[in-house]
């Protein structure tokens, strides 16, 4: 069977792109290797309300947060209070399902339990996939890979791999008594080397997890013994577990003849927080619009699809690049450096600046303000010079 476009991956990115294309009357197929949309869950599910500018998913919100308690390796706490909703915790599986089903309502078709095993390009695209043990084949004019960090589409067409991939582990837990308006974050090499650990309050549960450059499950277990986090988790009981990987980098090419990639498949993830929903939806919007233009022109050349690269990069490319710069600095910090930074930041004027300008989607705006502070510049300056 021939489709105008085939989207591999029924996550929020693939669903958003498919919906944009099918709303214009084009024939779209979504292929998803899992048997249920949104599962297994592989995301902490913390987003800013900006995502609702792209998808109609407000009903999946479970909790609203206004700030964070951030702990140094020795337990020095910084309380960041935005005084109003700064982020929301979503039902991630429900979030994905709503977006994909909206695409289906717009005319997209979907095949669950359909794992892509081969892709060939000759004039158009031929896709072989395995479903119920049988090999099936479809054709399309345009292929969109929204199939995550281990993207089959990205590998098949030799798109640039991520600059870095880190692993994460998280558990949904009950019996955690914290202020549900604040996230708990722990930094340092004893907490989560190369990244951070967290406790995110949902509705009746909390999401406890971390990402790390080394042995995430080992450091997850250490959260319950660590002198900083163990008091918060002393009565915690797990009800589910998830694991996943997060790609970082700024892909210099996300298109080719007849093909585009988006979301985690294109490393469109914030290097400072590991969040990829907002950046992925920004890219999905441009990917969907570029697909519509190509289909209307019946031109699927690399030259035509290059417009997608320009559009998403113009909107979030610089932020992702700045995020990678900040990540390189972050990875160089010792626990002693963290203690010094916390001492500098524990200042009423600076905390007010963080509360006012802090934005998990655009963290570089705050970084540019803070780095101008003389004490911070003195501490971070040598690292910046060494790296750049």
pLDDT of residue 387: 42
Residue 52 lies inside a defined structural domain of this protein: no
Burial grade of 158 (CB within 10 A; 0-12, 13-18, 19 or more) = exposed
- 57 within domain boundaries: no
Q: Are residues 134 and 238 in the same domain?
A: no
My answer on whether 27 and 99 are in the same domain is yes
β-bridge mates for residue 144, sequence order: 7, 260
Residue 124 in domain:
yes
Domain check: are 235 and 348 in the same one?
A: no
Say if residue 176 is in the same domain as residue 290.
no
User: What integer pLDDT is reported at residue 379 of this predicted model?
Assistant: 55
Low-confidence ranges of the chain (pLDDT < 50): 384-388
Which residues neighbour 321 within 8 Å (Cβ) at sequence distance 6 or greater?
Answer: 250
Q: Give the three-class secondary structure for 36.
A: coil
Domain boundary among 229, 247, 265: 247
- Is 275 inside a domain boundary? yes
Residues 156 and 103 in one domain: yes
Asked, for residue 51, whether it belongs to a domain, the answer is: no
Q: What CATH number does the domain containing 9 carry?
A: 3.50.50.60
CATH number at residue 70: 3.30.9.10
Contact 260, 268 (CB under 8 A): no
Considering the domain architecture, whether residues 99 and 77 belong to the same structural domain is answered as no
pLDDT at 375: 63
Question: What is the rounded average pLDDT for all residues in the chain?
Answer: 92
21 and 107 inside one domain: yes
User: Does 312 map to a domain?
Assistant: yes
Q: Are residues 10 and 106 in the same domain?
A: yes
Q: Is 272 found in the same domain as 181?
A: no
The number of distinct structural domains making up the chain is 3
CA distances from 52 to 12, 20, 57, 90, 350 (A): 12, 15, 6, 11, 30
Do residues 152 and 257 both lie within one domain? yes
Q: Specify burial of residue 115 (Cβ count, 10 A radius: 0-12, 13-18, 19+).
A: middle
Q: How many alpha carbons fall within 13 Å on the CB side of residue 294?
A: 30
Residue whose pair of structure tokens reads 């489709």 in the numeric block: 3
Question: Is residue 222 domain-shared with residue 256, that is, in the same domain?
Answer: no
In a domain, 55, yes or no: no
pLDDT of residue 43: 73
Which run of H or of E encompasses 65? Answer: strand 61-65
Range of the domain at 355: 327-387
* Whether residue 124 is found in the same domain as residue 270: yes
Segment 362-380, tens digit of pLDDT: 988 888 777 776 666 565 5
Final residue of a domain: which of 217, 247, 277? 247
Distance of CA 178 to the CA centre of its chain: 25
pLDDT at 350: 85
Residue 386: the pLDDT is 46
Domain boundary among 291, 317, 343: 317
* Token code pair at residue 70: 């951030």
Would 352 be classed as within a structural domain?
A: yes
- DSSP assignment of 328-357: HHHHH--HHHHHHHHHHH-SHHHHHHHHHH
Asked if 335 and 193 touch (Cβ cutoff 8 Å), the reply is no
Q: What are φ and ψ of residue 234, in 5° steps?
A: -60, -30
């Amino acid at each position: 069977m021939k489709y105008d476009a085939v989207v591999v991956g029924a996550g929020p990115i693939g669903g958003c792109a498919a919906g944009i294309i099918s709303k214009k009357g084009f024939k779209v197929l979504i292929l998803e290797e899992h048997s249920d949309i949104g599962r297994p869950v592989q995301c902490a599910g913390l987003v800013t309300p900006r995502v609702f500018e792209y998808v109609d998913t407000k009903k999946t919100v479970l909790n609203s947060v206004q700030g964070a308690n951030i702990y140094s390796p020795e337990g020095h706490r910084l309380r960041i209070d935005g005084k109003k909703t700064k982020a929301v915790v979503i039902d991630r599986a429900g979030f994905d399902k709503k977006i994909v089903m909206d695409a289906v309502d717009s005319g997209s078709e979907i095949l669950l339990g359909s794992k892509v095993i081969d892709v060939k390009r000759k004039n158009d695209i031929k896709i072989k996939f395995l479903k119920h043990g049988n090999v099936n084949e479809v054709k399309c004019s345009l292929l969109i890979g929204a199939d995550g960090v281990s993207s089959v589409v990205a590998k098949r067409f030799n798109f640039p791999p991520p600059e870095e991939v880190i692993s994460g582990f998280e558990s949904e837990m009950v019996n955690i008594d914290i202020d549900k308006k604040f996230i708990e974050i722990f930094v340092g090499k004893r907490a989560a080397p190369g990244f951070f650990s967290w406790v995110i309050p949902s509705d009746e549960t909390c999401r406890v997890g971390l990402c790390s450059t080394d042995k995430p499950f080992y450091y997850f277990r250490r959260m319950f013994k660590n002198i900083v986090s163990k008091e918060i988790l002393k009565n915690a009981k797990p009800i589910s577990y998830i694991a996943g990987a997060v790609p970082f980098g700024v892909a210099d090419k996300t298109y080719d003849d007849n093909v585009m990639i988006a979301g985690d498949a294109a490393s469109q993830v914030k290097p400072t927080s590991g969040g990829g929903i907002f950046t992925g939806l920004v890219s999905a919007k441009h990917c969907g619009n570029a697909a519509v233009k190509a289909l209307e022109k019946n031109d699927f050349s690399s030259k035509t699809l290059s417009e997608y690269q320009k559009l998403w990069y113009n909107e979030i490319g610089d932020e992702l690049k700045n995020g990678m710069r900040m990540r390189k600095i972050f990875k160089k910090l010792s626990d002693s450096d963290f203690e010094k930074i916390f001492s500098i930041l524990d200042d009423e004027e600076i905390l007010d600046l963080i509360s006012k300008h802090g934005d998990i989607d655009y963290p570089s705006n705050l970084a540019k303000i803070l780095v101008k502070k003389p004490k911070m510049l003195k501490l971070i300056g040598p690292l910046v010079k060494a790296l750049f």
